[in-house]
């Protein structure tokens, strides 16, 4: 590797996709009990976590702080390597700002070294796709400065669309009003949301019923995807595997040769969207 690649647990990467990366832990509490998620998706009990959310257990998440970044980035600097960290969106978390502050401080301390923080403008595989790309660039011998330019140019093409089953989780995080959540629940309205160009979660449509919502995600892929999908297509779910596999089948009907990966959605951002969240990530013409 020509430079170190950092991501964190929100990148949602299974073991085979995060090899060689440095994965930073995410901390949260569930009913006041502290938990640390190390990014080891294969050891995450998806069903129990989302059942706990369904049963009303409260989850609070903490941003990754500057001190963590200083400690971990310094280890790389002392080894004589540059580093790239792919961060969750600056539009939904202060983690990006914390990482930038650490990078500035360390580049003053190590003037011959380079650290770049990629604002993924997303979360989940919206971050993971770019981290995978960063790894491929490092293994191909690109410098960190070259890779930083390429990754920043690819951010606007990292598409992420999702739907939720229960609007009340979006209400708790201020994404929809209480009245909207109440009416939507009564009318069985399922929103289609996406990560916007400024990294915020925005609604781009509504459907009546879950099957129509899943079909609408597939339609977004049909309309937006690029013909070249070297990185593949990724689907994550909040304990709704059957629907995730149905969506994967729809994607394969549109592009039979593309590799589609399906996995559980990690707990850190999963706590904000709730059980039944279904998300689709791919490279597209535009967000």
Residue 140 β-bridge partners? none
Say if residue 74 is in the same domain as residue 126.
yes
Query: Domain holding 34: CATH number?
Result: 3.40.50.10170
Say if residue 87 is in the same domain as residue 100.
yes
Do residues 6 and 34 make contact, with C-beta atoms less than 8 angstroms apart?
A: no
| Ramachandran region, residue 192 (left: φ > 0; alpha: ψ -120 to 50; beta: rest) | beta
d(CA 287, CA 190): 20
Say if residue 136 is in the same domain as residue 198.
no
Final residue of a structural domain among 155, 186, 218: 155
Do residues 160 and 279 make contact, with C-beta atoms less than 8 angstroms apart?
A: yes
- Which domain range does residue 220 map to? 157-283
pLDDT of 217 over the 70 cut: yes
d(CA 138, CA 116): 13
- Which pTM was predicted? 0.93
Output the pLDDT for position 272: 86
Strand ranges across the sheet with 158-163? 201-208, 189-195, 158-163, 278-283, 233-237, 260-264
Say if residue 46 is in the same domain as residue 175.
no
Residue 160 β-bridge partners? 281
Chain centroid to CA 167 = 20
pLDDT of 200 over the 70 cut: yes
Selected residue with higher pLDDT from 86 and 195: 86
Query: Domain holding 269: CATH number?
Result: 3.30.1180.10
Say which DSSP state 17 is in: G
Final residue of a structural domain among 155, 180, 201: 155
Selected residue with higher pLDDT from 174 and 284: 284
Say if residue 13 is in the same domain as residue 75.
yes
Quick: pLDDT tens for 75-93.
999 999 999 999 999 988 8
Final residue of a structural domain among 110, 137, 155: 155
Say if residue 51 is in the same domain as residue 163.
no
Quick: pLDDT tens for 40-65.
999 999 999 999 999 999 899 999 99
The closest of 282, 130, 153, 155 to 220, measured between CA atoms, is: 282
Most confidently modeled of 87-91, 103-107, 182-186?
Answer: 103-107
Number of domains in the chain: 2
């Amino acid at each position: 590797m020509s430079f170190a690649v950092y991501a964190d647990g929100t990148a949602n990467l299974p073991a085979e996709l995060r090899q060689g990366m440095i994965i930073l832990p995410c901390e949260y509490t569930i009913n006041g009990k502290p938990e640390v998620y190390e990014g080891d998706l294969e050891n995450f009990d998806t069903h129990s976590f989302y059942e706990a959310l369904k049963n009303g257990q409260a989850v609070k998440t903490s941003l990754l702080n500057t001190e963590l970044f200083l400690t971990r980035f310094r280890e790389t600097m002392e080894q004589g390597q540059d580093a790239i960290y792919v961060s969750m969106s600056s539009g939904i978390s202060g983690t990006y700002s914390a990482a930038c502050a650490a990078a500035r401080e360390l580049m003053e301390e190590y003037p011959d070294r380079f650290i770049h923080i990629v604002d993924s403008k997303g979360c989940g595989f919206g971050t993971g796709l770019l981290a995978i790309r960063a790894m491929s660039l490092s293994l191909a011998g690109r410098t960190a400065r070259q890779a930083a330019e390429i990754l920043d140019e690819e951010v606007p093409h990292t598409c992420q669309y999702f739907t939720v089953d229960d609007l009340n989780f979006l209400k708790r995080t201020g994404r929809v009003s209480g009245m909207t959540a109440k009416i939507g629940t009564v009318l069985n309205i399922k929103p289609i949301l996406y990560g916007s160009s400024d990294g915020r979660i925005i609604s781009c449509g509504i459907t009546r019923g879950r099957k129509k919502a899943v079909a609408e995600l597939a339609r977004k892929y049909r309309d937006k995807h690029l013909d070249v999908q070297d990185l593949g297509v990724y689907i994550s779910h909040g304990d709704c595997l059957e629907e995730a596999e149905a969506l994967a089948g729809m994607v394969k009907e549109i592009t039979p040769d593309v590799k589609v990966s399906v996995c559980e959605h990690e707990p850190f951002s999963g706590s904000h969207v709730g059980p039944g969240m279904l998300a689709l990530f791919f490279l597209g013409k535009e967000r």
